[in-house]
């Protein structure tokens, strides 16, 4: 049975740098340099998260929020506990 989880993200497109800013309630605030044009910010968000989490890009799927700053990303082969630990570690070392 494949393991997967969901990550709620508040995306800030057009930022000066890509960065994980921390938690806003249950949403992870993530800045990306790509503009919110033609899906570029969504692609940049998935690429950046995959890189930061150390998972292949193909394991991330935009489930909801294609045209919104509030998104839900599905991540395969990662448990919710592992995801939370990885994110907490990234926030602590930024």
Per-residue pLDDT tens digits for 38-80? 999 999 999 999 999 999 999 999 999 999 999 999 999 999 9
Per domain, the residue ranges of the chain are: 4-92
Q: With H, G, I as helix, E, B as strand and everything else as coil, classify residue 26.
A: coil
Joined tokens for residue 15:
């930022």
C-alpha to C-alpha distance for 85 and 18, rounded to whole angstroms: 20
Q: Cα 75–79–82 angle (5° rounding)?
A: 105
Q: For residue 2, is pLDDT > 70? A: no
- Give the pLDDT score at 1: 53
- For domain 4-92, say whether CATH 3.30.1200.10 is its number: yes
Beta bridge partners of 72: 8, 64
Surface-to-core class of residue 25, CB atoms within 10 Å of its CB (0-12 exposed, 13-18 middle, 19+ buried): exposed
């Amino acid at each position: 049975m494949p393991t997967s989880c969901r990550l709620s993200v508040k995306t800030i497109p057009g930022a000066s740098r890509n960065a994980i800013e921390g938690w806003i309630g249950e949403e992870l605030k993530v800045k990306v340099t790509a503009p919110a044009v033609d899906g570029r910010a969504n692609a940049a968000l998935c690429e950046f998260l995959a890189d930061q989490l150390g998972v292949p890009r193909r394991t991330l799927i935009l489930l909801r929020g294609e045209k919104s700053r509030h998104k839900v990303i599905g991540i395969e082969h990662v448990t919710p506990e592992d995801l939370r630990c990885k994110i907490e570690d990234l926030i602590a070392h930024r």
